[in-house]
Copies of this chain bind each other. A is one copy, B any other.
Amino acid sequence: MNTKNKKLHIVVKKIFKKYKLKSEHAEISAKAIINAELVGAHGHGLARLKMYCNRIKKKLINPNPQIKIKKISSSISSIDANNSIGFVAADIAIKLAIKNAQKTGIGLVAVKNSGHYGLSSHYAEQAVKKNLLTMIYTNAPPAVAPHGSSKSLFGTNPICFGSPSGSKIPFILDTSISMINRGKIRLAERNNSKIPRGFALDKFGKPTTDPKKALEGVQLPIAGYRGSGFAWMVDILSGVLTGSNHAGGVKDPFIDFSGPQNVGHLFLTFKSNLFEKNFIRRMKDNIKTIKKLPKLKGVKEILYPGESKFFKYKKNLKKNITIKENIQRDIEWLLKN
């Protein structure tokens, strides 16, 4: 990371500490936010900083949480995050899931009373580095209408899967079940830009390219009833199962100050060599075979999930993170207030 980005990391950490996060929690949170910027997921980056601080100030995020960890078996644990900032709960959870899997082959960790934790891939990377496969689910505030309904209820409920690839670039699929990420719509709103047609409906059920109207309306799920089914699955795994809010109950952190978000997360991890000792060689063969396929016109290389984000990250490491004017104002305001 270049000097200017390192400085930005220090500023973000300083702001979190100013808002009473413990130094260790501020570090975890700043790291996640800077990482989101570096992989190009700006909707999970600095654009959320003021929101987090707002919620800490309003006591909706607990800066000094008493996080309770319960051991259910040597593989399974549950965490009550006591409304900590989501980054911290997720960081504890993935580390515990990794530990459990290293001990028994498989780890399952449920988290309740948490908040938005940014990118699932950020946590998946930790597991993959330890040679584990991982599946991560989290729910989110209402954004997508269940199939057959005109009202949004499901979150963009990402599905994340990570696997060692045999190269330094992990295989990480991290995909929202919405045609567009809610963070990206919000970013478009902040930057006064449009969103593509076919990604959202306004509150009257009409297609819209206006991010403001899309946020009031309904985002469309991927693949119709299938995407709706995936979103419902994620709501069950991360909400119903864990003891968190679900069925539209997760609060929108930007506009709903009636209580903590109570987001839920589920982290599953297991050893890659459980069944075949040569998993890594098999993965390499798999990727090699697929990359060798004939390509569509204009396609230079068939990329596996995670590669494009990794290349962006590598490139962005050398560049200064672009800070939009409105976000620069946020940062200055937060340093003062």
Give chain B residues whose Cβ lies under 8 Å from the Cβ of A282. 240, 243, 246
The 8 A CB mask of A261-288 against B (1 = contact, 0 = none) is: 0000000101010111001001101100
- Whether A290 is near chain B, meaning CB under 8 Å from some CB there, is yes
Please name all residues of chain B whose beta carbon is closer than 8 Å to the beta carbon of A272 when the two chains form the complex.
241
Known: A241-B272, A248-B289. A149 touches B230 (CB 8 A): no
Residue of B nearest to A300 (CB): B148
Taking each of A233, A270, A304, which has the highest tally of chain B beta carbons within 10 Å of its own beta carbon?
A: A233
Interface residue A40 (Cβ < 8 Å from any Cβ of B)? no
| B-chain residues with CB within 8 Å of residue A78 when the two chains form the complex | 274-275
* Docked pose: A145 CA to B296 CA in angstroms: 10
Contact of A235 with B by CB under 8 A: yes
Which of B104, B241, B296, B302 interacts with A133 by CB under 8 Å?
A: B241
Nearest neighbor of A179 in chain B, beta-carbon distance: B223
Asked if A295 and B150 make an inter-chain contact with CB atoms under 8 angstroms apart, the answer reads yes
> Any chain B CB within 8 A of the CB of A51?
no
For A286, give its contact among B104, B235, B286 (CB under 8 Å).
Answer: B235
What CA separation (Å) do A152 and B268 show in the bound complex? 30
Checking B76, B149, B232, B247 against A106 with a beta-carbon cut-off of 8 angstroms, the contacting residue is: B76
Q: Kindly state the separation between the CA atoms of A153 and B295 in the bound complex, as whole angstroms.
A: 12
Residue of B nearest to A239 (CB): B286
Contact flag A285-B148 (CB < 8 Å), given A75-B75, A232-B305: no
Interface assignment of A110: CB less than 8 Å from any CB of chain B: yes
Instruction: Find out whether the CB atom of A104 lies under 8 angstroms from the CB atom of B293.
Output: no
**Smallest distance from the beta carbon of A170 to chain B beta carbons, Å?**
12
- Inter-chain contact A173/B286, CB cutoff 8 Å: no
**CB of A236 within 8 Å of the partner chain:** yes
Given contacts A75-B75, A161-B233, is CB(A148)–CB(B275) below 8 Å? Answer: no
Q: Which residues of B contact A153 (CB under 8 A)?
A: 289-290, 293
Given the contacts A230-B173, A236-B286, A242 and B275 also touching, CB distance less than 8 Å: yes
8 Å CB interface, A278-320 against B: 279, 282-283, 285-286, 289-290, 293-296, 299, 301-305
A99 at the interface (CB under 8 A from B): no
- Highest count of chain B CB atoms <10 Å: which of A72, A235, A275: A275
Q: A163-B236, A242-B276, A286-B247 are in contact. Are A302 and B146 (CB under 8 A)?
A: yes
Complex CA–CA separation, A296 to B146 (angstroms):
10
In the bound complex, residues from chain B placing their C-beta under 8 Å from that of A230 are 159, 173, 175
The 3 A-B residue pairs whose C-beta atoms are closest, nearest first, are A222-B223, A247-B289, A149-B293
Q: Besides the contacts A161-B236, A246-B282, what 19 more A-B pairs have beta carbons closer than 8 Å?
A: A72-B274, A72-B275, A75-B106, A76-B105, A78-B274, A110-B274, A133-B237, A145-B293, A148-B295, A150-B294, A153-B290, A175-B230, A222-B223, A232-B290, A241-B274, A241-B276, A242-B276, A247-B290, A248-B289
* A residues with CB within 8 A of B: 72-73, 75-76, 78, 104-106, 108, 110, 112, 133, 145-151, 153, 159, 161, 163, 171, 173, 175, 205, 222-223, 226-227, 229-230, 232-233, 235-237, 239-243, 246-248, 268, 270, 272, 274-276, 279, 282-283, 285-286, 289-290, 293-296, 299, 301-305
